[in-house]
Amino acid sequence: MKIAFPTQNSQGFDSPVFNHFGSAPYFVICDTANDTFVTVSNADQHHAHGQCQPMAALDGHTVDAVAVGGIGGGALRKLQAGGIKVYRAVEGSVGANLALARNGKLPEMALINVCAGHGPGAGCAH
């Protein structure tokens, strides 16, 4: 399985998981079949709120799942429509979250958990 994690930096398995999918500078894409990873720059990082294009953000890489601290409803729906499972990551490194994912310990993200914006009065679940 290939799982993408949004990150602030490119330190591989040691990268802390970033708290929001669309504005993450990088994605660490882990392949659980052979314990390898690639790091890609977020090709859609600078987009208007609500206009995230998750497949473009992953820069053409195919993944089975994404593990995120936070995500907007539009991006969640687009990933799910593409057959990609979205899991709620916990604070910590890619490696720690990968271990949790392998053991079925990361819950699937639901629309009730999505980011509702970052302005005054808006709420985020991350």
**pLDDT tens track for 100-119:** 999 999 999 876 656 555 44
Of 7, 2, 1, 3, give the one whose Cα is nearest residue 69.
Answer: 7
CA angle 46–122–115, rounded 5-degree value: 55
**pLDDT tens track for 14-69:** 999 998 887 889 999 999 999 999 999 887 655 455 545 556 677 788 999 999 98
> Structural domain boundaries of the chain?
2-113
Residues 56-85, mean pLDDT to the nearest whole number: 87
- pLDDT the model gives residue 70: 87
In whole angstroms, how far apart are CA 8 and each of 29, 32, 83, 96?
14, 21, 25, 16
Element containing residue 38 per DSSP (H, E): strand 36-41
- pLDDT the model gives residue 23: 81
Structure tokens at 30: 């882990």
CATH superfamily of 2-113: Dinitrogenase iron-molybdenum cofactor biosynthesis domain (3.30.420.130)
